[in-house]
Amino acid sequence: MSSLRLTRVAAQASRSTCTGRQGAARRCRATPSMRTRCFGASAVHQRPPQTVSHPPKSKDRGPKSEEDTQTDFAAMNVLGNTPVPTSAVDACMDDGFALDSGLKVTGAGVLLMGGEAFKWRPWLREGRKEGTIGASGLGDDNKGMRSIGGKLQNKKGQWDVDKQAWGLLDLAYPKPDLLVLGTGSKIVPLSPETRRDINELGIRIEIQDTRNAAAQYNMLATERGVQQVAAALIPVGWKEGK
């Protein structure tokens, strides 16, 4: 009896071993198929190759159209028929400006207000003694050449002028709504004191380099009128501290 029982136990152990091996084999066989399905799923979501655009073989756009429906872009200029004010700036020179009226201002800046042009030297201050600057607004450089120069910036590099520089704006009535300030060849920030002096006059201020300030004044003065916009421009050849 004991030998028969041992034989049955050995047979059951053998069947269990075979079953375990078959299960492992099934798992091994299942793994490649699962991987195949995973690879197939990822292949579905793959992005298509990006198409590369090629330049045209020819730049010929064909013959010129003779249709009457062509767009006349000149007719779209809403300011085309508006006359340019005589105080508009035609050219910015190193030592002055040329205006649309034919007037040339040299050796100074220009203050444009109410359709009129005024010589403007904001670097002149009471009691200032720096060569010939205090007398005529022109300085001498180290080569003996007369040049536009002086001092308009404080120790912090801010554009700082005396309150008397805005005397004409203080006397004007009605006052312009906007003052376009050109600070020379580059933009210089205003000092808090100078900004306060202008704001106390009830005038808004726009700061640009002189060339862009002149262009902005020309456009706004043509569009809104010379009574609404004023400009204070320093020559582009201004040399700080010279």
Are 27 and 85 in a shared domain?
A: no
Is 52 inside any structural domain?
no
The C-alpha atoms of residue 79 and residue 134 are separated, in whole angstroms, by 43
User: Which CA distances in Å does 6 have to 9, 12, 15, 16?
Assistant: 5, 10, 14, 15
Q: What is the DSSP letter of 228?
A: T
Are 123 and 235 in a shared domain?
A: yes
Are 94 and 7 in a shared domain?
A: no
Q: To which residue do tokens 């005396």 refer?
A: 162
Cβ-Cβ contacts under 8 Å for 154 (sequence gap 6 or more): 160, 191
Query: What confidence score (pLDDT) does residue 16 get?
Result: 53
Is 46 inside any structural domain?
no
Is 118 inside any structural domain?
yes
Average pLDDT over residues 208-225: 94
Are 151 and 218 in a shared domain?
A: yes
Is 73 inside any structural domain?
no
**Number of other CB atoms surrounding residue 222 within 10 Å:** 16
Is 207 inside any structural domain?
yes
Q: Which domain holds residue 14?
A: 1-31
Are 27 and 109 in a shared domain?
A: no
Return the structure tokens found at 167.
């005397």
Question: CATH no. for residue 112?
Answer: 3.40.1230.10
The C-alpha atoms of residue 62 and residue 76 are separated, in whole angstroms, by 26
Is 49 inside any structural domain?
no
The sign one gets for the Cα dihedral 138, 148, 176, 190 is: negative
Are 186 and 96 in a shared domain?
A: yes
Q: To which residue do tokens 């309150």 refer?
A: 163
Is 61 inside any structural domain?
no
Query: What confidence score (pLDDT) does residue 199 get?
Result: 94
Q: What is the pLDDT of residues 141-165, one digit of tens each?
A: 433 334 455 689 999 999 999 998 9
Contact assessment for residue 154 and residue 206, using Cβ atoms and an 8 Å cutoff? no
Total domains in the fold of the chain: 2
More confident residue, 123 or 234: 234
The whole-model pTM stands at 0.61
The C-alpha atoms of residue 43 and residue 62 are separated, in whole angstroms, by 46
Query: What confidence score (pLDDT) does residue 54 get?
Result: 80
Return the structure tokens found at 68.
């009457």
Query: What confidence score (pLDDT) does residue 211 get?
Result: 96
Q: What is the DSSP letter of 190?
A: B
Strands of 89-93's sheet in order across: 89-93, 96-99, 104-106
More confident residue, 75 or 116: 116
